Chain A
């Protein structure tokens, strides 16, 4: 009887080691890709050519164009292979079956009056959206690196400038998704949930 009277402490969230590793590598690789990508961008901005807006030094990685390329092509492998093994992990552990947003989440957003259920649905939509955006960044990047060998990628986006624009736009999209994803996680599980993903 007395045991029931003591208030229960909220459980400390636990995450799979694979999920933590994926989060760490992804975060570091993405920031390295962004810093070195902006370095490359500055050589000839997508918007406005050589005279266009140049990003300030503190956002850049690599020192100069060739240095930025070296960082970018190194972390391209880190980022791409991290995404690949995450895909394999999700596939073989069968997490893909119920990990991502589905029809029920869309229905909950339209019909449910339960705020917690709605919040959960939004969160699932946000982190599901990461997957196509990250794959899009990889695909457009591959098209820019090898426009001859992967001419169909350039053709798919309608031309070189469109390809560069889409590749660039994946940065603000990923940053936006990251912000919403972090804020939603904080809202649901406070700091200890976010921390549990990294420690």
Chain B
């Protein structure tokens, strides 16, 4: 029996050692190298798998009005304060590879088709909230500007910025694949929980969709561009290391 206990401890120590070794791999420059390698190996596989599962026509589950969780939706901004945009002078410009580039006021956007949906918003951090978004389906806006056949990706620019230690402002931006943009539940939202969208959630207009993680749903959108290929800068969080596709 004593033999049994002694070996038991040794086994436990070796298991502990293995986890420490793995944990040590998880930090410092070695960590960055290994993590980068693992990401390079698995991200293409993950992305193909995600795109294989995805259908532009299959709808995400929608919920009842009483299931909305008003407190669960947390506010995340890159800056300490959300941009304050005057809805009266706000304009959304849509350009790039389109036949009919436009610059729209909020009033003009409100006259375009409207969709309301109560969906689960899932954050990369792990939390989720059932929330209502109301606004212009992105597919309708795309039909309105008539994308050229070579357009495959969509670039979004936000009014939000990020300041470095010198106080310089860096842009906040995001890119999406066209298939996800034409999904019927992807909307340019100006309404949250049946009320006008608050500034902290991206007023006057944000991207909202149940099919992508929260960090892909860019707020305070001011400009949309259609592109043939992905630019070098993919998105604010993506350029920090989050996966680009981010589908759920």
Residues of A within 8 A of B (CB): 27-28, 31-32, 34-36, 39-41, 43-44, 46, 49-50, 57-67, 69-71, 73-74, 77, 145-149, 151, 154-155, 160, 164, 182-183, 186-187, 190-191, 194
Least CB distance, B186 to chain A, in whole angstroms? 12
Complex Cα–Cα for A154 and B26 (A)? 30
Task: Give chain A's interface secondary structure class.
Answer: helix
- Asked if residues B19 and A191 are in contact (CB atoms below 8 Å), the reply is no
The one of A67, A149, A164 that contacts B31, using a Cβ cutoff of 8 Å: A67
Task: Tell me the smallest distance from the CB of A161 to a CB of chain B, in Å.
Answer: 8
Q: B161 at the A/B interface (Cβ < 8 Å)? A: no
- Given A148-B210, A160-B120, A190-B3, are A66 and B42 neighbors across the interface (CB < 8 Å)? no
What B residues does A57 contact at CB under 8 A?
A: 27
B241: CB under 8 A from chain A?
Answer: yes
Q: Could you write out 20 A-B pairs with CB less than 8 Å apart?
A: A44-B123, A49-B127, A58-B20, A60-B26, A62-B31, A62-B35, A63-B26, A63-B31, A66-B242, A69-B124, A147-B120, A147-B248, A148-B210, A148-B247, A149-B58, A151-B60, A182-B11, A186-B4, A186-B11, A190-B7
Please give me the residue from chain A that is nearest to B37 by CB atom: A74
Q: Which residues of B lie under 8 Å from residue A31 when comparing CB positions?
A: 18-19, 22
Q: Are B38 and A191 in contact (CB under 8 A)?
A: no
- Taking the nearest CB of chain A, how far is it from the CB of B169, in angstroms? 24
Task: Evaluate contact between B32 and A63: CB separation under 8 angstroms.
Answer: yes
What is the distance, in angstroms, from B65's C-beta to the closest C-beta of chain A? 17
B211 on the interface (CB 8 Å rule)? yes
Q: 1/0 per position for B1-41, CB-CB distance to A under 8 A?
A: 00110011011000000111011011100011001001101
User: Given A60-B26, A186-B8, list of 13 further CB < 8 A pairs?
Assistant: A31-B22, A35-B19, A44-B125, A62-B26, A64-B241, A67-B35, A71-B38, A74-B39, A77-B42, A146-B247, A146-B248, A149-B248, A191-B7
A34→B15 CA distance, assembly (Å): 13
B contact residues around A28 at 8 Å (CB): 18, 22
Shortest distance from the beta carbon of B40 to any chain A beta carbon, whole Å: 9
Q: Whole-angstrom distance between the alpha carbons of A15 and B18 in the complex?
A: 22
Knowing A148-B61, A191-B7, say if A66 contacts B53 (CB, 8 Å): no
Q: Is the pair B126, A73 in contact by a Cβ cutoff of 8 Å?
A: no
B22 touches A35 (CB 8 A): yes
Chain B: how many interface residues by the 8 Å CB criterion?
A: 47
Give the complex CA separation of A153 and B92 in angstroms.
38
B22 contacts which of A50, A61, A70, A146 (Cβ < 8 Å)?
Answer: A61
**Nearest A-chain residue to B59, judged by Cβ:** A148
Instruction: List the interface of chain B (C-beta within 8 A of A).
Output: 3-4, 7-8, 10-11, 18-20, 22-23, 25-27, 31-32, 35, 38-39, 41-43, 45-46, 50, 53-54, 58, 60-61, 74, 120, 122-128, 210-211, 240-243, 247-248
Instruction: Say whether A70 contacts B35, CB under 8 Å.
Output: yes
B residues less than 8 Å from A41 (CB atoms): 126
The reply to whether A44 and B61 form a contact with Cβ atoms under 8 Å apart is no
Instruction: State A64–B127 Cα separation when bound (angstroms).
Output: 17
* Contact with A77, one of B45, B125, B240 (Cβ below 8 angstroms): B45
Contact A71 B125 (CB under 8 A): no
B241: A residues at CB distance < 8 A = 64, 66-67, 70
**Chain A residue nearest in CB terms to B31:** A63
Which residues from chain A contact B46 at a C-beta distance below 8 Å? 73
Q: Report the Cα distance A58→B25, complex, angstroms.
A: 11
Which residues of chain B come closer than 8 Å to A58, judged between CB atoms?
20, 23
Are B60's CB and A74's CB within 8 A? no
B26 contacts A61, C-beta separation under 8 Å = yes
A61: chain B residues within 8 A (beta carbon): 22-23, 25-26
B221 to chain A, nearest CB (A): 22
What is the chain A residue whose CB lies nearest that of B129? A160
Judging by beta carbons under 8 Å apart, are A71 and B23 in contact?
no
Q: Which residues of A contact B248 (CB under 8 A)?
A: 145-149
Contact B23 A35 (CB under 8 A): yes
